[in-house]
């Protein structure tokens, strides 16, 4: 581990760094000698003699690295004095996949500390560099590591993550016991499969239940009910583990679809589109233009996951959606709170939904009455699914 940490030190001069403040990334690079370059904007407000520390966890085991990183973040948030700021930070090689390394930035002189954590042995080393401004990269750095880290594109990739969690998360074995056989999950149903997607309060529940009744269909939800007792546990885990958990939920739902779809049409309240759209929108910060470009492989449906016959995306004016949420009188989920307080996040989620292909979403305005929305969706189903 010490050798790997030291090799990372020698690579810093070729990497670009990103610090996020107020949801926007600021980029800089480092060099060992001062050449009278302008101080990067992100550091201009640092008080005299102030310092910034980046904590980087090094490990060849990405499961333990993600777990330790999450625990370290929590401890820093709880233990730092009030005058210290904690901001997301990363470094990357421009346009090189899987080159993103996450750190945490606290508080132009910048000191890099590397902690190599393995078998209770900790190595700390520091070296001072000067920071200089850097141009924004062609692609948002988080897009470099989305595949099979924030969004999973095969059963095997997600399965391996949860399997390796067995010795650190006891509940992982319960997830593995619920997984389908791969042969069953690939079976294609005889009847159409219709997915209804959309943010909360767009009318998904009303529509899916109405379609169930009018079509005599089976109604399923994703994540599946069998994972409900485990969701609170895995929602506490770092993104890598949490996203793998929800990815496997889609494969459990796919098995249920295969079974029900042999007897009747199937209506699904959310499926892979939701899993991917929220993960992509969370991984990539800032405005919509930071998302991977349309046609990117990150928007492609997993090749081993059952594809629905039709995906309907219900959309609603933001103010009307908030009014409906207020009328419900229900407590908001953490996801809903983020949608309400972060308009950029909501826009990224909606745009990610629209860019997913294989199949793509058919957008339906959910502002008319429930009966009118039902009639419109029934017309779509008749035209595309011949029901």
- What residues does each domain of the chain span? 2-144, 146-385
In this structure, are residues 93 and 134 in contact, taking their beta carbons and an 8 Å threshold?
no
Q: How many CA atoms lie within 13 A of 253 on its CB side?
A: 31
Helix 228-235 / helix 239-260 crossing angle, nearest 10 deg: 160
Average pLDDT on 230-257 reads: 95
Output the six-digit token pair for 119. 């078998």
User: Where does the pLDDT of residue 264 fall: very low under 50, low under 70, confident under 90, or very high at 90 and above?
Assistant: very high
pLDDT in tens, 55-66: 766 777 888 888
User: Where does the pLDDT of residue 118 fall: very low under 50, low under 70, confident under 90, or very high at 90 and above?
Assistant: very low
Long-range (24+ apart) CB contacts under 8 A made by 172-176 are 174/230, 175/227, 175/230, 175/234, 175/245, 175/248
CA dihedral 363, 366, 368, 370 (to 10 degrees): 120
In this structure, are residues 12 and 129 in contact, taking their beta carbons and an 8 Å threshold?
yes
| CA-closest candidate to residue 29, choices 85, 87, 92 | 92
Average pLDDT on 46-54 reads: 60
In this predicted structure, what is the pLDDT of residue 125? 46
Cα–Cα distances in angstroms (integers) from residue 238 to residues 6, 251, 286, 293, 323, in the given order: 26, 21, 21, 26, 32
Helix (H), strand (E) at residue 10 = helix 2-11
Where does residue 135 rank: exposed (0-12), middle (13-18), buried (19+ CB within 10 A)? Answer: exposed
Residue 185 pLDDT greater than 60, yes or no: no
In this predicted structure, what is the pLDDT of residue 50? 61
- 371 Cβ neighbours under 8 A, 6+ residues apart: none
In this predicted structure, what is the pLDDT of residue 187? 62
In this predicted structure, what is the pLDDT of residue 336? 61
Output the six-digit token pair for 89. 């930070």
Buried b / exposed e over 318-333, threshold 16 CB at 10 Å, is eeebeeebeeeeeeee
In this predicted structure, what is the pLDDT of residue 121? 46
In this structure, are residues 93 and 15 in contact, taking their beta carbons and an 8 Å threshold?
yes
- Lookup result for tokens 């000067």: 130
Cα–Cα distances in angstroms (integers) from residue 83 to residues 46, 47, 71, 72, 191, in the given order: 12, 11, 21, 19, 60
The residue with greater pLDDT, 66 or 43, is: 66
In this structure, are residues 223 and 235 in contact, taking their beta carbons and an 8 Å threshold?
no
Helix (H), strand (E), coil (C) string for 117-158: EECCEEEEEEEEEEEEECCCCCCCHHHHHCECCCECCCHHHH
Q: Report the C-alpha gap between 42 and 291 in whole angstroms.
A: 22
| CA-closest candidate to residue 295, choices 363, 361, 358, 364 | 358
The model carries a pTM of: 0.84
Residue 4 pLDDT greater than 60, yes or no: no
Q: Report the C-alpha gap between 298 and 355 in whole angstroms.
A: 9
Q: Report the C-alpha gap between 14 and 94 in whole angstroms.
A: 9
Average pLDDT on 152-164 reads: 96
| CA-closest candidate to residue 348, choices 285, 297, 304, 302 | 285
Residue 132 pLDDT greater than 50, yes or no: yes
Q: Which fold has domain 146-385?
A: Rossmann fold (3.40.50)
Which of 3-17, 129-143, 295-309 has the lowest average pLDDT? Answer: 3-17
In this structure, are residues 74 and 135 in contact, taking their beta carbons and an 8 Å threshold?
no
User: Where does the pLDDT of residue 3 fall: very low under 50, low under 70, confident under 90, or very high at 90 and above?
Assistant: very low
In this structure, are residues 378 and 317 in contact, taking their beta carbons and an 8 Å threshold?
no
């Amino acid at each position: 581990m010490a050798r790997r940490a030291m090799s990372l030190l020698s690579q810093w001069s070729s990497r670009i760094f990103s610090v996020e403040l107020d949801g926007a990334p600021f980029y800089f690079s480092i060099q060992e000698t001062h050449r009278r370059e302008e101080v990067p904007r992100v550091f201009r407000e640092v008080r005299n003699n102030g310092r910034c520390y980046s904590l980087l966890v090094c490990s060849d085991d990405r499961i333990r690295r993600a777990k330790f990183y999450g625990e370290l973040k929590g401890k820093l948030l709880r233990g730092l004095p009030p005058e210290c700021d904690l901001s997301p930070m990363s470094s990357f090689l421009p346009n090189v996949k899987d080159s993103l390394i996450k750190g945490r930035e606290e508080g132009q002189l910048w000191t890099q500390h590397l902690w190599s954590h393995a078998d209770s042995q900790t190595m700390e080393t520091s070296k001072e560099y000067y920071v200089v401004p850097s141009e924004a990269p062609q692609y948002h750095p988080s897009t470099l590591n989305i595949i099979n880290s924030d969004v999973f594109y095969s059963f095997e990739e997600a399965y391996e993550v949860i399997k390796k969690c067995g010795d650190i998360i006891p509940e992982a074995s319960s997830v593995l016991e619920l997984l389908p056989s791969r042969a069953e999950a690939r079976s294609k149903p005889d009847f159409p499969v219709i997915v209804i997607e959309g943010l909360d309060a767009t009318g998904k529940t009303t529509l899916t239940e109405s379609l169930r009744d009018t079509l005599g269909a089976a109604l399923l939800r994703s994540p599946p009910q069998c994972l409900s007792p485990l969701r609170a546990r895995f929602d506490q885990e770092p993104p890598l583990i949490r996203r793998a958990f929800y990815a496997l939920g889609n494969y459990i739902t796919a098995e249920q679809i295969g079974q029900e779809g042999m007897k009747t049409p199937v209506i699904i309240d959310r499926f892979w589109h939701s899993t991917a759209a929220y993960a992509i929108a969370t991984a990539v910060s800032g405005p919509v233009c930071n998302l991977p470009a349309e046609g990117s492989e990150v928007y492609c449906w997993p090749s081993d996951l059952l594809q629905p016959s039709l995906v309907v995306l219900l959309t609603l004016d933001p103010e009307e959606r908030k009014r409906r949420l207020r009328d419900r009188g229900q407590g908001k989920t953490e996801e809903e709170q983020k949608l309400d307080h972060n308009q950029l996040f909501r826009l990224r989620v909606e745009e990610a939904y629209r860019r997913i292909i294989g199949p793509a979403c058919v957008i339906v305005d959910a502002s008319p009455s429930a009966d009118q929305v039902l009639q419109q969706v029934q017309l779509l189903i008749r035209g595309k699914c011949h029901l």
